[in-house]
Each structure stands twice: as structure tokens, then as C-alpha cells.
A and B are shown apart, each in its own frame.
Chain A
Amino acid sequence: MARGAYYNEMFDAERAVRPHYAAFAEWLAETPPARIAQNRHAADLLFHRVGITFAVYGEASGTERLIPFDIVPHVIPGAQWEVLSRGLRQRVLALNRFLHDIYHGQEILHAGVIPAERVQRNAQFRREMVGVDVPGGVYAHIAGVDLVKHSDGEYYVLEDNLRTPSGVSYMLENRKMMMRLFPELFANQHIRPVDHYPDLLLETLRGMSQGSNDNPAIVLLTPGHHNSAYFEHAFLAQQMGIELVEGQDLFVLNNTVFMRTTQGPQKVDVIYRRIDDDFLDPLAFRPDSMLGVPGLLAAYRAGRVTLANAIGTGVADDKSMYPFVPEMIRFYLGEEPILKNVPTYLLAKAEDRDYVLAHLDELVVKEAQGSGGYGMLVGPTASRDERERYRQRILDSPERFIAQPTLSLSLVPTFCGDALADRHVDLRPYVLSGTECNLCPGGLTRVALREGSLVVNSSQGGGVKDTWVVD
């Protein structure tokens, strides 16, 4: 994976517009800049009024910010999406098989494909889940897989998010905004719709109910309105027509989960939880958690309630497990992986560590358990000082870190001020696994708004774009 020129999604090497961007380019040339400027401003106002904001950790509590929205879409040709989507289904299926396996027979460990201690010593491996049967053997009902397109024009998987992946509300709101501002774009070409996502999600959750009831009670469990993704929780609950609950709204009696309502207690069958494992049940995990429901784990283990995602999925999306995913696909499915993995160095291994420490200025180093782009080192753009400080952190506890080559994320033109400039993007499609596997065409495109930046996280100055799969 040598670092070459960046792949530009819209233009080829001769700066000619690629065919799948032709309709958009034509529209852009014809549309008066004043109208575009006016609509970009309108988009900002609308997002503010609708309150599509996220909270930023580490700033004064209650700080809400808008995620900047850019009107130039990330366009993906239909044929390319078909390959991607097959690759995503394959990958998530293998990850679910892996989760079932390590909480049951552990065949992949016995076969020596993955070192046993790497799983068993992993903090995300939940002993409480050993031998527990979950409906349909599905653990990660909702998976968000981060993809980037390298300079070779190929997609690589950056990471699998199998715990409580967020961002799908932006995918839906971005599309709504584009259709509202520029309806003519949608009339002139076939862009695959995404707005049925809440229906797909509801069907997925419904199919996982273990109750005898034909009309299971499904709730979305949120940490509350101080959480950075609260907008999304409220949005999805409303779109699906299910209750948005907090831990204090639920209680467990005789291994059955109830919610407190104005008409007394009501039984709950499926919980789409957006709270991490650690905070789910103060009796089983962190005793100081005020967000969870005492007794939830016991009810879950007794098969009286379904959790989506299951407890203990974190062991499969851990960055130190990531290098083994291609092997999982071969082991469980007997297939060759369709999607590529980024070469990954585990700093716990001496030979990897020596290499990484000698090449800090070329690599991205991150915490195996981290998320949200917090605390990572982007070697090529970091200062000498930053690299040296990071070196010390690595030496202090090498097992906490992994390293990867700096990926040359592809570029999409983006409005910066009133002019277009190329900015780096990634792509997060959402894969739903229940009685069947479903996904919406495209996903969430995140864009790094700072020139040259490769960090797309919203907490680190990233923005979002609409994602089009066009036929």
C-alpha cells in the first residue's frame, strides 16, 4: 500500500469528470452560484432549527454543535455498490458467526486461527455471555463498517463498529435536505432511495423478539439527552414509532423487563440499546452506572428480552481483532474476503513494535479500544514533539495500541467558503442482520473539512455529505 496520488471520486487523472458524476457536474455548471450559496445558507438554518446537533465531550456541558453539511454528494456507481454490498454482508455474517463461536464452542481458537489468549484476555470478552443463546445466533444486529478508498481505487475496511454505531440519522437527514434544496437533481437521474432505513431497522428488531406476542414491545434505550448522539436516538425512535426510554424508565421483576408508564408497568420484548455494555446493568457491570437497569443481564440470559446489539460484541470490533477478520471469513464461510483489510501492526508483538517505532512518521497509531478519533497519532501530519510524546505512551503500554499505514483517503470536491476544494472522505454503510441481512444503498459519508486532514470524525472538525448510489 504505497502512498500515491489520492483517488479523486469526481475527476480522473486528467481532471475529466468521471461518468457517474456527469449529471451532477452538469447541474453544477448550469446552476447560478447565487442559488447554491443561498441554499447552502438555507441548509444551515434548517439544520439549526430542526436541532440536528451533537454534543461535544470535553467542552462545557450541554454544548451543542451542528455537523457541517456539504452539498456536493459522494457518488458511487451502482455496479461498484453491488460488490461493496456483497462484501459487507459477507464480512458482517462472518463476524456474527465468530461471536457465536467464541461464546460457545470456540472452534476458531481450537483450530489455532486466532490465538486464544487474544480473545480470552480481551476486556471486551464477556464471560457472562458464554453459553448464552441469542435469537437466530445474531449478535451484531446493527453494524457500521468504515470504508476508505485508497489511491489504488480499491475500498479498504478501516474498522467494524459492532457495539452502538451511530450516524445513520445524518444519512437520512442529509438526503432529506438535498431533496428539499435541489429536487431537480433527483428528477434527472436514478439515485437509490435510503429513507426506508427505519422500516428495515424496525423489521430487524421485530424479528428478534422472543415473546409469543405478535406485536412485541420494542424500545430504544438511550443514556439521555446529554449524550452526544441523543438527537439520533430520539429521531430513530420517532421514525420507528417506538418508545425512547432511559434506564430509570425500565425495571426488572422476575427476570422480566417492564417500563414504567402512566398506566402502570408494561412488558418490554426487544431493547435497541444505545448504551455501552459497561453501563447496561449496575448489578453485573459497572456498579456506579446510573444509566442502566438493575437485573437486565439476568433477564437477558434467561431469554426473556432481546438486546440489540447483544452484549459482548465489542470483542469482535476491537482493533486488535481486526487483522483476523479475513481469516474469520475463510474459516466460517469458506470464501475469500471480498473487501480488503488495511495491513495492521499489533504493538504487543515485538517485531511489529520495532517497525512501528522506526516509522512513526509514516503511520497512524491508535488505541485498540479507542473510538471517535480521540487520542490517535497521524504520523505524517504530527509534529516531532507529538510523535515523541506518543512514542513514550506506546512504550508504557504497547498492548493498548495498533498501527496502520497512513491511508490516502479519496477526495471529493467540497465547498470551502464559496469555492470548491478537494477534501478527504470515508464511508460508513450500515448493515442490518436479523432473520435476514439488509442494507441501505450508500451510507454516511464523512468529510475532513480541514485542508489535507485525514480525520473525518465530527468531534475533530469533520462534516458530512449525502451519499448517492446511482444507476
Chain B
Amino acid sequence: MLSRVASSLYWMSRYVERAENTARVLDVAWRMSLLVKEPALQDQEWFAPLNITGTLFPFSGRHSEVCAREVLHFMALDPENPSSIYACARQARENARSVRGTITSEMWEVLNSTWLEMQQMDEGRMEARGVSMFFDWVKERSHLFRGVTFGTMHRDDAYEFARLGTHMERADSTARILDVKYHILLPSVKDVGGAVDYYQWSAILRSVAAFEAYRKVYRDVITPLKLAELLIVRDDIPRSLRFCLRQVFETLGHVQNAQSGETVRLAGQILAALQYGRISEIFSTGLHEYLTEFLESMQGLSADIQRSFFSARTVE
């Protein structure tokens, strides 16, 4: 298939997934902000969404105060913020528009009507609807898009590139969400293991829709070690790093070409580390350091995918 088309399909899926994950991150922050806490720590959880999406810098350039209202607007509705849900919906739709001949009409209709509805959205409407309802809507549109893709799309390379985008973005985003605890301070050391701590960890689990899975797998209280194990090395949790990387590796195997050897190798290497790594080792290095390194290797992989499949090439 055309390199340009493959690239648009990949980015179309990435943006849908990104919108969903931003909604998930904001939802966690929102739920955490509802907890009672000391006035000094008021609003400190709103740094988390900015930190983990790497948008603290552009945010502070335009806003003086980090608070619920400002961050929600910036991350959900701000057309000028390229990683806002609004901008992701627009980008997903623009990419889809440029490959309308390749995706099914039903896929196009989902993204187009999402965008039309998104344009009607403003702060007033979001609040009237309830902030959590808005996040649910974003998640539902993403579920719908994935479902329609799964249910209608011809299983050719186009499908593979769309799938590749979904899992690349999801791996990236799960790693960032896991790192959220690093960015949120507990009120004090004595709170470790307390109600607030518990609430924060469970919010993370809920944000990646893995709360029930955790209960089923461990039948135990939530501990950081087990939570990290669930979301990093388990192979049966659809948003875990290992699960996503296995999908990426398999997909790359389907679309590989004469130039993609190094890309496939790198994906295999990241996957192998997840397959054979121990969670206790990860914790001895430090979870934050581990995740930072993981995100860097994902960036390398992303650049390699770009080079192997999407770059304009003439006859080699």
C-alpha cells in the first residue's frame, strides 16, 4: 500500500487512542481532586496530567495557575494545544479524510460525527453534561471506532497499520499513566499505605480499566508491586506494556519489507525485555527510571517505523 496512506492510517489510530488516554488521565486527576486534603496540596494533582503528557511547559506559557478548570480546558478543549482531546479528534478525522478511499465508510462516519460533535463542545456544555460524562463519551467514541474497525475493515496491510498505531500509542500511554504516582506527592510519609495512597493506586487501575482484572488475578489489596506487574509484564491485560508490544511485534511481522529488519529487531528486543524481565528487578532500578527508559526506547521504535514504512523513497 501507499506509504502516505500507511502513515495516515497509523496516525489516525494513534490520535484516537491518544484522545481516549488523555480522557483517562484527566478522569483520574478529576477523581483524585475530589478527595479531601490539606489546603497546601489543593490542586497539586492537576500537575500530573500536564507532566505525563509533557505539556507543562506550553501550559505555563499561557496560564498562570494550575487548577482544575484551566487544566481541563487546556487538555480537553483547547484547539491550540496539539495534544488536547479536541485537537486529537481533529487530527484523527483529518488523517481519516486523507485516506477515505482506504478505510470503510463506517469508520469514516464514526470519526466524522465525533468531530462534528466535538466542535459543538465548550466548557459550559462539558460542565452541564458532567465532566466525567464527557470523558465517558470520549472513551465510548474510541471504543466505537475500534469496534467498527475490527468489525468492518478488510484484513490487509491497511488494517495492520491502523492496529500498529493503536498499540504503539497505548503502550506509550500506559507507561505514562503508571508514572503518574511519581508526579503526585502523598500529603505526608505517614499516608503511605493509607486511604489516600490506596485511592490513588486504585484510580490508576480504574483509569486503564484494570481494576476488576486486578481483583480477579490477585484477590488481594492493591500494592504498587503487583499493580506494576499487572500493567507491565502480564500478557493477558489488553493495556499492559507487554500485551501492546506483542501486538506491535506481530503487526510488524505482517507488514515487514526489505528495509524493516532493524525495526522488527528493536520491537523484538523491547518485547523480550518485558517477557523475561522480573518486576522485582524493575523496582530495584526504580519504577520511574524504568518507565523513562521504556518511553525512550518507544520513541526510538516510533522513529524506526517512520523510516522503514512511511518515508518517501525512490527505487533502492
Select the stretch in B22-30, B63-71, B109-117, B123-131 that faces chain A.
Answer: B109-117
Give Cα A265–Cα B314 distance, bound, in whole angstroms. Answer: 7
Asked whether B4 lies within 8 Å of A246 as measured between CB atoms, the reply is yes
Q: Is A49 an interface residue (CB 8 A)?
A: yes
Asked whether A260 lies within 8 Å of B312 as measured between CB atoms, the reply is yes
In the A-B complex, list the 4 residue pairs whose CB atoms are closest, starting with the nearest. A234-B100, A244-B101, A237-B101, A238-B101
Q: Is A262 an interface residue (CB 8 A)?
A: yes
Q: Which residue of the partner chain, among B98, B108, B255, B257, contacts A51 with CB atoms under 8 Å?
A: B108
Select the stretch in A86-94, A247-255, A462-470 that faces chain B.
Answer: A247-255
Given contacts A249-B3, A262-B255, contact A238 B100 (CB under 8 A): yes
Asked whether B257 lies within 8 Å of A248 as measured between CB atoms, the reply is no
Q: Which residue of the partner chain, among B2, B161, B315, B316, contacts A249 with CB atoms under 8 Å?
A: B2
- Residues of A participating in the B interface, judged by any CB pair closer than 8 Å: 48-51, 220, 224-225, 230-231, 233-235, 237-238, 243-246, 248-249, 251, 253, 258-265
Additional A-B contact list (11), CB under 8 Å, known A253-B314, A261-B3, A262-B310: A49-B109, A49-B113, A51-B97, A220-B101, A224-B98, A244-B5, A249-B3, A262-B2, A262-B257, A263-B1, A264-B258
Q: Is B292 an interface residue (CB 8 A)?
A: no
Query: Shortest Cβ distance from B60 into chain A, in angstroms?
Result: 30
Using a CB-CB cutoff of 8 Å, which residues 1-34 of chain B contact chain A? 1-6
Please list 19 pairs of residues, one from A and one from B, whose beta carbons are closer than 8 Å in the complex, sorted by A's number.
A48-B116, A51-B108, A230-B97, A235-B100, A244-B5, A245-B2, A248-B312, A249-B3, A253-B314, A253-B315, A258-B315, A259-B2, A260-B4, A260-B313, A262-B1, A262-B2, A262-B161, A262-B257, A265-B313
Residues of B near A230 (CB, < 8 A) are 97
Give Cα A262–Cα B113 distance, bound, in whole angstroms. Answer: 30
Q: Which residue of the partner chain, among B4, B101, B258, contacts A234 with CB atoms under 8 Å?
A: B101
Q: Is B157 an interface residue (CB 8 A)?
A: yes
Give Cα A299–Cα B287 distance, bound, in whole angstroms. Answer: 59
Residues of A near B5 (CB, < 8 A) are 243-244
Given contacts A234-B100, A238-B100, A244-B101, contact A261 B312 (CB under 8 A): no
Using a CB-CB cutoff of 8 Å, which residues 58-109 of chain B contact chain A? 94, 97-102, 105, 108-109
Given contacts A49-B109, A261-B3, contact A251 B116 (CB under 8 A): no
Q: Which residue of the partner chain, among A50, A51, A260, contacts B2 with CB atoms under 8 Å?
A: A260
Nearest neighbor of A244 in chain B, beta-carbon distance: B101
Q: Which residue, of A243, A251, A263, has the highest number of chain B Cβ atoms within 10 A?
A: A263
Asked whether A243 lies within 8 Å of B116 as measured between CB atoms, the reply is no
Give Cα A314–Cα B101 distance, bound, in whole angstroms. Answer: 28
Q: Is B309 an interface residue (CB 8 A)?
A: yes
Asked whether A261 lies within 8 Å of B109 as measured between CB atoms, the reply is no
Give Cα A419–Cα B113 distance, bound, in whole angstroms. Answer: 30
Residue tally, chain B, CB below 8 Å to A: 31
Using a CB-CB cutoff of 8 Å, which residues 238-293 of chain B contact chain A? 255, 257-258
Q: Which residue of the partner chain, among B4, B157, B315, contacts A248 with CB atoms under 8 Å?
A: B4
- Main secondary structure on B side of the interface with A: helix
Q: Which residue of the partner chain, among B99, B101, B157, contacts A262 with CB atoms under 8 Å?
A: B157
Residues of A near B6 (CB, < 8 A) are 262
Residues of B near A249 (CB, < 8 A) are 2-4
Nearest neighbor of A245 in chain B, beta-carbon distance: B2
Asked whether B112 lies within 8 Å of A261 as measured between CB atoms, the reply is no
Residues of B near A231 (CB, < 8 A) are 100
Residues of A near B4 (CB, < 8 A) are 246, 248-249, 260
Asked whether A262 lies within 8 Å of B309 as measured between CB atoms, the reply is yes
Nearest neighbor of B259 in chain A, beta-carbon distance: A264
Query: Shortest Cβ distance from B288 into chain A, in angstroms?
Result: 36
Q: Which residue, of B5, B312, B316, has the highest number of chain A Cβ atoms within 10 A?
A: B5
Asked whether A243 lies within 8 Å of B109 as measured between CB atoms, the reply is no
Residues of A near B108 (CB, < 8 A) are 50-51
Nearest neighbor of A256 in chain B, beta-carbon distance: B315
Q: Which residue, of B3, B6, B257, has the highest number of chain A Cβ atoms within 10 A?
A: B3
Using a CB-CB cutoff of 8 Å, which residues 294-315 of chain B contact chain A? 309-310, 312-315
Residues of B near A260 (CB, < 8 A) are 2-4, 312-314
Give Cα A248–Cα B313 distance, bound, in whole angstroms. Answer: 10
Query: Shortest Cβ distance from A391 into chain B, in angstroms?
Result: 44
Residues of B near A261 (CB, < 8 A) are 1-3
Asked whether B316 lies within 8 Å of A243 as measured between CB atoms, the reply is no
Nearest neighbor of A238 in chain B, beta-carbon distance: B101
Residues of B near A220 (CB, < 8 A) are 101
Residues of A near B102 (CB, < 8 A) are 238, 244
Give Cα A320–Cα B108 distance, bound, in whole angstroms. Answer: 43
Give Cα A243–Cα B316 distance, bound, in whole angstroms. Answer: 22
Asked whether A243 lies within 8 Å of B2 as measured between CB atoms, the reply is yes
Asked whether B315 lies within 8 Å of A265 as measured between CB atoms, the reply is yes
Give Cα A347–Cα B316 distance, bound, in whole angstroms. Answer: 56
Residues of A near B313 (CB, < 8 A) are 260, 264-265
Residues of B near A51 (CB, < 8 A) are 97, 100, 108-109, 112
Give Cα A237–Cα B2 distance, bound, in whole angstroms. Answer: 14
Asked whether A263 lies within 8 Å of B257 as measured between CB atoms, the reply is yes
Asked whether A262 lies within 8 Å of B97 as measured between CB atoms, the reply is no
Query: Shortest Cβ distance from A61 into chain B, in angstroms?
Result: 13
Query: Shortest Cβ distance from B141 into chain A, in angstroms?
Result: 14
Nearest neighbor of B111 in chain A, beta-carbon distance: A51
Asked whether A262 lies within 8 Å of B116 as measured between CB atoms, the reply is no
Asked whether B257 lies within 8 Å of A264 as measured between CB atoms, the reply is yes
Nearest neighbor of B110 in chain A, beta-carbon distance: A49
Query: Shortest Cβ distance from B194 into chain A, in angstroms?
Result: 50
Nearest neighbor of B94 in chain A, beta-carbon distance: A225
Nearest neighbor of A241 in chain B, beta-carbon distance: B101
Q: Which residue of the partner chain, among B97, B157, B255, B257, contacts A225 with CB atoms under 8 Å?
A: B97
Nearest neighbor of A233 in chain B, beta-carbon distance: B101
Residues of A near B116 (CB, < 8 A) are 48-49
Query: Shortest Cβ distance from A52 into chain B, in angstroms?
Result: 10
Residues of A near B255 (CB, < 8 A) are 262
Nearest neighbor of B95 in chain A, beta-carbon distance: A225
Nearest neighbor of B255 in chain A, beta-carbon distance: A262
Give Cα A459–Cα B226 distance, bound, in whole angstroms. Answer: 62
Query: Shortest Cβ distance from B271 into chain A, in angstroms?
Result: 21
Give Cα A244–Cα B157 distance, bound, in whole angstroms. Answer: 16
Query: Shortest Cβ distance from A172 into chain B, in angstroms?
Result: 13
Residues of B near A244 (CB, < 8 A) are 5, 99-102
Asked whether B314 lies within 8 Å of A225 as measured between CB atoms, the reply is no
Residues of A near B310 (CB, < 8 A) are 262
Asked whether B3 lies within 8 Å of A262 as measured between CB atoms, the reply is yes
Query: Shortest Cβ distance from A170 into chain B, in angstroms?
Result: 16
Query: Shortest Cβ distance from A121 into chain B, in angstroms?
Result: 39
